[in-house]
Structure 1
Amino acid sequence: MGKLTNKQQQFYDTLITYVRKHFRWPTYKELAGRLGFSSENSITQYYNALVSKQFLKKDSQGNYTFTNPTDVWMTRDEEQGSRSIPILGEITAGTMEEAIEADLGHITIGDFFPNASNVFGLRVKGDSMKDLGISTGDKVILSKTELRDGEVGAVLYDGNTTLKRAHMRSDGVRLEPANPDHDDIIIEPGEFEEVRVLGKYLGHISEDGLVKASYN
């Protein structure tokens, strides 16, 4: 990964700030307005530079993604802070024994999520998944893996994103909310090519702490 120039860093930080706030990529016009560019051609040059230096990735359809999603969903303060839980000793799960204090290392995010390199988070807005305990302001944890029938995931469709349980059917896909006040979203076979799975739901973080998904 190459080192960014000051202007390239400003461009990258602008992307991060925008995606955090709006949960979508800015248009070229929006970027030009924010950065004071007179020509949208400059934006293409910056995108190419960030791809070349491996800060962004570009797929065959011309869509950009962040090479390291934690740049987006984790602040610099969080990056510099503690990411682990200390293991302070041993305790028996059998007969009563004296606790043994020792420095036995740390529990890290990798212990919670073994494939942490493919994991990212999104902040929730709305109550369509409230029966799973997911509320506005919670952070859902998602994995960039295949979404199978009956699993919950983040889906991009027709330019909009949603968190729903996906039911794969012969006549399309049914996206089911976990709230009876919301209707299912039905996607017909001809429209399925427009659907993009952003990530599979692994759990969420609320005021009560971490809740992991359960797929029985």
Structure 2
Amino acid sequence: MLQNNYKKLTSKQKKVFDFIVSFIDENTFSPTILELAGFLGVSSLRTVTQYLESLEKKQMIVRAKGASRGIRIVQEDSLSETVMLPVVSAAGCDNMNVFAEQHFDEFITLDREFLGGNDPQKVVAFRAMGDSMASAGIETGDLVLTEMTTDIKSKDKVVAIVDGMALIKQITFSDNAVILAPMSHDPQYRPIIMRRDFQVFGKVIEVIKDSFSQDELVYEAI
């Protein structure tokens, strides 16, 4: 079906779709609207959105509402299957001010495809608190989808547990230290340098903006 739908695209729609496919193949994540605008050489984000809406209507892609990199290519054997993820407590984007206590009073439901192939049993959501990760698009109230994994590399955005507190930071490994750095232009936020044991809960895989209501966090393939 995907191949038949591809034949129905206009030349410009094929150009956008092919770029998205190539971008995902190269980076393992999808482009943002700004990156698509740069590729197309347009200043209007609405123009990009119209292309994406057309690709959705022709069942070439699906998008996660509120996710900055939420474009997914429709697979031939994809099913419109949703998964429910727990929202675990909150994670601080400030300086160690949110305890990592687990609360499962809140859940989000989303299409399995938006997990990027990750096992739903290993993905949870943290609600962000603070703005020290604002430059990474993570702000207070946002839901941060996190894969529980030990496969962490330098410059990954992670949820780390320090002194029983959950922090969202960018991690860097050096020869004799681990640095948990903010991603903000605000000088009040400074890196945390670790020389002792601490726990990395997992790696950030997606951010769902707080501007969307809970009802809108039920994603469906279009």
TM superposition score category, shorter chain reference: 0.3 to 0.5
TM-score (norm 1): 0.47
Higher relative contact order (CA 8 A, sep 6+): 2
Rg comparison, structure with higher value: 1
